[in-house]
Chain A
Amino acid sequence: MAELALRELRKTYRSRGRPAVDAVRGIDLELRSGELLGLLGPSGCGKSTTLRMIAGLETVTGGDILVGGASVVGRPAQARNIGVAFENYALYPPLSVAENLAFGLKARRRGARGSRGEVARKVAEIAERVALTDLLQARPAGLSSGQKQRVALARALIREPDVLLLDEPLSHLDAAQRDTTRRELKRIQGDLGHTTILVTHDQEEALSLADRIAVMKDGVIQQLGTPYEIYDSPANVFVADFVGEPAINLLPGISTGDGHARLSRTVSFALPVKVAQDREIVIGIRPEDLELSGGDGVPARVSAHEPLLESGIATLALEGVVRPLVALTGPEVRLVRDERVRVGADPGLTHVFDAETGDSLR
């Protein structure tokens, strides 16, 4: 276990006859020893490239990668002691689970890394950890996706890597396996305390597993913080939109100068901060922060209601506002189409962004 730091890390792909592509544009990250950081972003945002650079599978265009304080940029992958659990597991099909786990140790056996007996002992130990003992003689083809993922994780862990990298560990699992595997991952990482980077496009995965999350877009980290910080005070429109399910309502409006945002002639919402008059802004209200009430609030018409039993999703039309407003409703709320309601939001939970830059104004 060691701390990991990325300094101004950059990656540019150049190929003849095509413009250069900046996949990663200067990333700074510091991970404490034992921390699990989620690298969250849409596909093509540079998160996998970052992971591959740390592992040594991709060359670095600029910047530095420090593991335990020492730069590893000049070293080949096999000399970095970094464990990777690949998205598609990358298990050797002709080998049994036990042989797959031992395979990684055998590479270093010549380096006095222990006898045959020690290899067997380590395989048994790690199998116990990730609950694979019963499957040690099975072949990868006979395993479920969740089991394959555990083998891939065990293979990454068995060499006691300084840093563990998980590439979309849950993306190929079905819903039921995803839940159990996620809990297993959290438990194992907590038990063994590896410094870990989790790369994912799935916010649920990042939120549930990570100590801190870095939200990435176009090769740049948009925001770094705990899951609560990311959720409670998104740094810009992109982060607000990317994190949260159902997605946040983003409505363009104009500041009135008296602490309100006017969305249309008749609809306005109170703002949490003072914004100069007539400034173009975007307000963000999470569906779960909207309240349907009989009394105050702005008038709205129900255009759809999806009852999901323990909650419901209401799509509302505000007078003179083009974009629909999505609100999360409680289990007791029953709505019908075209019903008139009033909807209000706590100004303290409302987010304000500059319409041009997208940056938060809070």
Chain B
Amino acid sequence: MTRKSRLSEREPGSKPWLGWLADTALILYFVFALFPVAWMLILSLKPADQLFSTYFSFTPTLDSYRTVLGDSEGIPFVRFFVNSLVVSLGAVALSLVVGLPAAYASARWRFKGSENLMFTLLSFRFAPELTVIIPLFVLYQKLGLFDTYVGMVWVLQLVTLPLIVWIMRSYFADLTPELEQAALLDGYTRKQAFFRVALPLVKPGIAAVSLLAFIFAWNNFVFPLILTSSRAQTVTVGALSFLGGDRPKYNLTAAAALVSVVPPLLLALTIQRYLVRGLSFGAVKS
């Protein structure tokens, strides 16, 4: 839509300068929000010897990306990347398997202790990770879970499970129980009513919450920092390795960080159409 048509659509008597003010504010915010990304992009494209030059002109090069993805410098970035994928996807998958039935049960029935259970789950989210990390570290050392995929997927349940249970609970609560009751009367079992009636209707919710949980798991820093060393280390911690050594390599860190943004971004774009909530509306006259 062009500026002209927007102006003409405005109601007579409203002040046009208000619109310009809003636009200016939006542009300012846009610059503010994207500046760090743009700066990282520039940094990652600079040749190593011009890293600290303050003037803008430089010859862009993909050397940083080649170095990062080529596992040179002795840092197995590709491995970190694969680790992140395995651990994050694993955590989301496990949370879905465990969390969907839990969310459904807590939305449909009030049983003894159900509210306490739900609150306990929620408390995982507002307790800072640092408060539990030292005991966890000791436990993981003793149990042999330190620096393993299983250990990481397990600990990330603290991040993904409460999210999935709480959000999916409200999706299930919005579904009228009569849809499942109708299925029961049609001869379906309780299990079938869950899998064939309730679950398909909350698909948009599952897509949205899975994406969110994946991003949180992917971005988690403290758990992999303390509970992994090399075999199961993820990109968030791995990208920092480029800052170590005698000279911090900002260009490599920037390249690594940008590469590690790609999976959540791709996922968000592909899943976008499911994010629109409301497929289940119209089932019930509200």
Contact B283 A55, beta carbon cutoff 8 Å? no
B178 in complex: contacting residue of A56, A76, A90, A103, CB < 8 Å = A90
Contact A107-B187, Cβ < 8 Å, known A90-B283, A93-B279, A93-B281: yes
Please provide the chain B residues from 162 to 197 with a CB less than 8 Å away from any CB of chain A in the complex.
176, 178-179, 181-189, 192, 197
A residues within 8 A CB of B281?
93, 141
Question: Residue-by-residue, is B268-285 near A (CB-CB < 8 Å gives 1, otherwise 0)?
Answer: 000000000001111111
Contact A78 B187, beta carbon cutoff 8 Å? yes
Contact A93 B185, beta carbon cutoff 8 Å? no
Interface size on B, residues (CB 8 A): 23
Contact A94 B182, beta carbon cutoff 8 Å? no
A residues within 8 A CB of B189?
78
Q: Which residue of B lies closest to A110 (CB)?
A: B187
Contact B283 A78, beta carbon cutoff 8 Å? no
Q: How far is the CA of A141 from the CA of B281 in the complex (A)?
A: 8
Contact B285 A107, beta carbon cutoff 8 Å? no
Question: Residue-by-residue, is A235-247 near B (CB-CB < 8 Å gives 1, otherwise 0)?
Answer: 0000000000000
Contact A92-B283, Cβ < 8 Å, known A57-B181, A77-B181: yes
Task: Decide yes or no whether A116 CB sits under 8 A from chain B.
Answer: no
Q: Which residue of B lies closest to A77 (CB)?
A: B184
Contact B186 A104, beta carbon cutoff 8 Å? yes
Closest beta carbon of chain B to A104's beta carbon, Å: 4
Task: Decide yes or no whether B201 CB sits under 8 A from chain A.
Answer: yes
Q: Which residue of B lies closest to A104 (CB)?
A: B186
Q: Which residue of A lies closest to B192 (CB)?
A: A107
Contact A93 B201, beta carbon cutoff 8 Å? yes
Question: Residue-by-residue, is A266-300 near B (CB-CB < 8 Å gives 1, otherwise 0)?
Answer: 00000000000000000000000000000000000
Contact B285 A155, beta carbon cutoff 8 Å? no
Q: Taking beta carbons and an 8 Å cutoff, which residues of A are in contact with B?
A: 55-57, 76-78, 80, 82-84, 86, 88-94, 103-104, 107-108, 139-141, 145, 155-156, 159, 172
Q: List 28 A-B contacts (CB under 8 A).
A: A55-B181, A55-B185, A57-B181, A57-B184, A57-B185, A77-B185, A78-B185, A78-B186, A78-B187, A78-B189, A84-B185, A88-B176, A88-B285, A89-B284, A90-B181, A90-B283, A91-B283, A92-B179, A93-B201, A93-B281, A93-B283, A94-B201, A94-B279, A103-B186, A107-B183, A107-B187, A155-B186, A156-B185
Q: A90-B284, A141-B281 are in contact. List 11 more A-B contacts (CB 8 A).
A: A56-B184, A92-B201, A93-B201, A93-B280, A94-B201, A103-B183, A103-B186, A108-B187, A155-B182, A159-B186, A159-B187
